[in-house]
C-alpha cells in the first residue's frame, strides 16, 4: 500500500549530513504516484489536470509533475504565469485564477495568451473594456463551501471569491456587452474535503448556469481534494468524485452536442504527501506541567499547524523504539503560537534527534518566510536509487539580505 512519505533513518541522516537541517525532503516516487492516481481515477474522456502552483512552486517539483504527465498549471499571479511558461507550459496549458487582480495583471495574463478565470463583475467590466470579443472563463462562487478549516472554505454567499449565483444575469449582460466568449465555468469549494456532497451541488449549479452560454468548452471543478496527515490513514476516494461528475458532464455534453472538457485544479493532492520537513531537536525543557521539545525550525517554515490548527504527523526518526512521552513540539520562532503539535506521544525525544514533520509538501515551503531572519530550509529531492538532488539551497546571510533587496 502506498503511504505518506517518511524517510528511513539512513536516508534522513544522509540528507542531514549533506544538506543540514531543517530541510524539506521530497520523494519523487510519491509525486509521480499522485499525478498518476488522479489521472487514473477520473475517467471522463476529456479530463485535464491543471496543478495549482501556489501549493508548491519549486520549479523542479513542477518539472517532475510535468514529466509524469501533468497537463497544465493554475496560476494566481503574474510570476506564477511566468514560471509556468519558463517550465515549458504553453499558454493554452495555463489558466489564471487570481484573487482581486489589478487591470495590469489582467492585461499581463491576456497578453501572454493565458485564459482568465474572472471572479467578479468588476473584472469582467475591466477585462471587457480592454479586450472585447475574447475568450474568458468565469469563477462562480458556490452557494456553500467546505474544507479542512474555516480559513480554507472558499464558498458561501459572503465569501470573497468568485461571482455569486445571484449575479449571473448581470455577468451575462457584461459578457454580451463586450462580446466576450464564455468558454469555461469554474468553481472551487475549498481546500481539504473528503466527501463529495458540496462539490456535487456546486457542479450541478454550474451545469445549470452553463446553459446560458452557448460557447462553453469546459467546466473547471477546482481543487481541494483532501490528503492524509496520519500514517495509515485512509485515502480520499477519488473514484467517487469521478462517479458524481460523469452523469452531469454526459448530460451537458448531450445538450451542447460535443464533449465538454473537465478541468481539475489539485494543489495539495499532488504534492503534500510527498514531502517531510526534517528538523533537529535543539532543546528539551520542562515548564510547569509541560514538557517541551524545541526544534530548529518554526512557523516560518511550516505555518499550517499554527495558522490553521492542522495536524501533521511528527516522527522521531532517530529513536523510533524509545519509550513514549507526552510532549508539546514547538519551534524556534519568537511567537507563543509557534507550535507544531500539542500533547503528542513521541518516542523518547533527545537533543540532537532528527524528527520528520510529514505531509509538508503542500503550502509548506510556498507559505514560508524568513521571519526572525531565519532563512527558508534547503529543498532536496529523493530520486531513484536513493540519489539526492538539491533543488534549492539554504541562503547564507549575504544572499538572504541581498535577495530581499537590502544592501549589506
Ligand atoms: N484552485 C483554486 C481556485 C484555489 O483557490 C485553490 C486553493 C486550489 C485550486 C488548490 O487547492 P488544493 O487542491 O491545494 O486544496 N494554504 C492552505 C490551502 C489554501 C488553498 C487556497 N486555494 C493549506 O495550507 O492547506
What pLDDT sits at residue 273?
Answer: 98
Q: Is the pLDDT of residue 408 over 90?
A: no
pLDDT confidence tier of residue 18, bands split at 50, 70 and 90: very high
Write the residue with the smallest CA distance to atom 6 of ligand 1. 223
Query: What integer is the mean pLDDT of 52-78?
Result: 98
What pLDDT sits at residue 166?
Answer: 95
Distance 12 CA to ligand 1 centre (A): 29
Distance 288 CA to ligand 1 centre (A): 39
Query: What integer is the mean pLDDT of 133-142?
Result: 97
What pLDDT sits at residue 303?
Answer: 98
What pLDDT sits at residue 2?
Answer: 81
Closest C-alpha to 23, from 213, 297, 221: 297
Task: Please identify, by atom number, the ligand 1 atom nearest to the C-alpha of residue 222.
Answer: 1
Distance 192 CA to ligand 1 centre (A): 8
**334 an active-site residue?**
yes
The pTM assigned to this predicted structure is 0.97
User: Could you tell me the CATH superfamily of domain 272-403?
Assistant: Lyase, Ornithine Decarboxylase; Chain A, domain 1 (2.40.37.10)
β-pair type (72-75, 94-96) = parallel
CB 166 within 8 A of CB 143: no
Q: How far apart are CA 107 and CA 196, in angstroms?
A: 36
Distance 223 CA to ligand 1 centre (A): 6
Q: How far apart are CA 105 and CA 123, in angstroms?
A: 11
Of 103 and 158, the structure prediction assigns the larger pLDDT to: 103
Q: Is the pLDDT of residue 55 over 60?
A: yes
Tens digit of pLDDT for each residue in 163-212? 999 999 999 999 999 999 999 999 999 999 999 999 999 999 999 999 99
**Grid coordinates given for 54:** 501556489
Query: What integer is the mean pLDDT of 57-71?
Result: 98
Q: Can you tell me whether residue 185 is helix, strand or coil?
A: strand
Q: Is the pLDDT of residue 1 over 80?
A: no
**Grid coordinates given for 144:** 456553500
CATH 2.40.37.10 range(s) for the chain read: 272-403
Q: Is the pLDDT of residue 121 over 90?
A: yes
With helix as H, strand as E and coil as C, how does 348-368 read? CCCCCCEEEECCCCCCCHHHC
**Grid coordinates given for 310:** 492542522
Tens digit of pLDDT for each residue in 92-114? 999 999 999 999 999 999 999 99
Mean pLDDT over the full length of the chain: 97
Choose one of 267, 268, 302 to mutate for the ligand 1 pocket test, by most ligand atoms within 8 angstroms of C-beta.
267
CATH 3.20.20.10 range(s) for the chain read: 28-269
Query: Ligand 1 pocket: which residues have CB below 6 Å?
Result: 52, 55, 74, 97, 152, 154, 188, 191-192, 222-225, 265-269, 304, 362-363
Q: Can you tell me whether residue 339 is helix, strand or coil?
A: strand
Closest C-alpha to 82, from 69, 96, 66: 96
Q: How far apart are CA 47 and CA 66, in angstroms?
A: 16
> CA gyration radius for the chain?
22
- Domain 28-269 in CATH 3.20.20.10: yes
pLDDT confidence tier of residue 343, bands split at 50, 70 and 90: very high
Above pLDDT 90, what percent of the chain?
97
Tens digit of pLDDT for each residue in 262-317? 999 999 999 999 999 999 999 999 999 999 999 999 999 999 999 999 999 999 99
What pLDDT sits at residue 371?
Answer: 98
Q: Is the pLDDT of residue 396 over 90?
A: yes
Choose the catalytic residue: 232, 287, 320, 334.
Answer: 334
Query: What integer is the mean pLDDT of 16-25?
Result: 98
Query: What integer is the mean pLDDT of 243-259?
Result: 97
Amino acid at each position: 500500500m502506498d503511504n505518506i512519505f517518511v524517510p528511513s533513518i539512513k536516508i534522513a541522516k544522509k540528507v542531514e549530513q549533506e544538506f543540514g537541517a531543517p530541510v524539506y525532503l521530497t520523494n519523487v516516487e510519491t509525486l509521480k504516484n499522485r499525478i498518476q492516481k488522479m489521472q487514473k481515477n477520473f475517467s471522463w474522456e476529456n479530463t485535464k489536470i491543471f496543478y495549482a502552483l501556489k501549493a508548491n512552486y519549486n520549479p523542479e517539483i513542477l518539472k517532475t509533475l510535468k514529466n509524469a504527465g501533468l497537463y497544465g498549471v493554475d496560476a494566481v499571479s503574474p510570476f506564477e504565469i511566468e514560471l509556468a511558461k519558463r517550465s515549458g507550459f504553453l499558454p493554452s496549458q495555463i489558466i489564471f485564477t487570481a484573487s482581486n487582480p489589478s487591470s495590469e495583471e489582467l492585461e499581463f495574463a491576456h497578453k501572454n495568451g493565458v485564459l482568465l478565470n474572472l471572479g467578479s463583475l468588476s473584472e469582467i467590466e475591466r477585462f471587457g473594456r480592454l479586450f472585447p470579443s475574447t475568450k474568458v472563463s468565469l469563477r462562480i462562487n458556490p452557494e456553500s463551501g467546505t474544507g479542512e478549516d474555516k480559513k480554507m472554505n472558499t464558498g458561501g454567499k459572503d465569501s470573497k471569491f468568485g461571482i455569486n449565483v445571484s449575479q449571473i444575469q448581470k455577468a451575462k449582460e457584461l459578457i454580451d456587452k463586450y462580446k466576450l466568449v464564455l468558454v469555461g465555468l469554474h468553481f472551487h469549494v475549498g481546500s481539504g474535503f473528503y466527501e463529495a456532497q458540496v462539490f456535487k451541488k456546486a457542479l450541478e449549479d454550474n451545469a445549470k448556469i452553463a446553459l446560458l452560454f452557448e460557447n462553453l468548452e469546459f467546466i473547471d471543478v477546482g481543487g481541494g481534494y483532501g490528503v492524509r496527515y496520519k500514517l495509515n490513514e485512509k485515502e480520499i476516494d477519488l473514484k467517487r468524485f469521478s462517479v458524481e461528475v460523469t452523469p452531469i458532464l454526459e448530460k451537458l455534453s448531450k445538450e451542447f452536442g460535443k464533449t465538454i472538457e473537465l478541468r481539475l485544479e489539485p494543489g495539495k493532492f499532488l504534492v503534500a504527501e510527498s514531502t517531510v520537513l526534517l528538523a533537529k531537536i535543539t532543546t528539551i525543557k520542562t515548564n510547569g506541567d509541560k514538557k517541551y521539545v524545541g526544534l530548529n525550525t518554526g512557523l516560518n517554515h511550516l505555518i499550517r499547524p499554527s495558522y490553521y490548527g492542522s495536524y501533521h504527523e511528527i516522527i522521531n526518526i532517530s529513536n523510533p523504539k524509545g519509550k513514549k512521552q507526552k510532549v508539546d513540539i514547538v519551534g524556534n520562532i519568537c511567537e507563543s503560537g509557534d507550535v507544531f503539535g500539542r500533547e503528542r506521544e513521541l518516542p523518547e525525544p533527545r537533543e540532537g534527534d532528527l524528527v520528520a514533520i510529514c505531509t509538508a509538501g503542500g503550502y509548506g515551503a510556498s507559505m514560508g518566510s524568513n521571519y526572525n531572519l531565519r532563512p527558508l530550509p534547503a529543498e532536496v529531492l529523493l530520486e531513484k536509487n536513493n540519489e539526492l538532488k538539491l533543488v534549492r539551497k539554504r541562503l547564507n546571510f549575504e544572499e538572504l539580505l541581498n535577495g530581499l533587496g537590502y544592501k549589506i
